[in-house]
Amino acid sequence: MKEKKATDKEHLEIIEKKVDIKKKRVEIEREKLHIDEIARRNIAIDEEKILVNKITEMKSLLSGWTIDEERTILASEPFFKSILSEQERK
């Protein structure tokens, strides 16, 4: 009878260990999914930052002016021209 109780107890301990291992696997998988989600969010934020930087740079190029060296005479009022040519603006 003692042997049966010992084997039952050992069997239950083995089952308990298996359950603990499965629990840990589930927790690890959950953590991996959480990390993947954070990585996806960070990538999306980085892509948005890049897009905003591109838009800002385009705005700067489209609205920027430079001195027109061909039309400006030394010691006079400078003539300005757009940074981009008409073709480049289109």
**pLDDT, tens only, 39-78:** 999 999 999 999 999 999 988 888 888 877 777 777 677 8
Q: Both tokens of residue 39? A: 């990585």
Residue 55 lies in domain:
2-64
In a domain, residue 56? The reply is yes
pTM: 0.56
In a domain, residue 30? The reply is yes
Structurally, the chain folds into a number of domains equal to: 1
pLDDT value of position 78: 80
In a domain, residue 76? The reply is no
Q: Both tokens of residue 33? A: 């999914």
Using the structure block, give the residue that is written with the tokens 């298996």. Answer: 18
In a domain, residue 74? The reply is no
In a domain, residue 71? The reply is no
In a domain, residue 72? The reply is no
In a domain, residue 7? The reply is yes
In a domain, residue 70? The reply is no
Burial 64-89 (b: 16+ CB within 10 A, else e): eeeeeeeeeeeeeeeeeeeeeeeeee
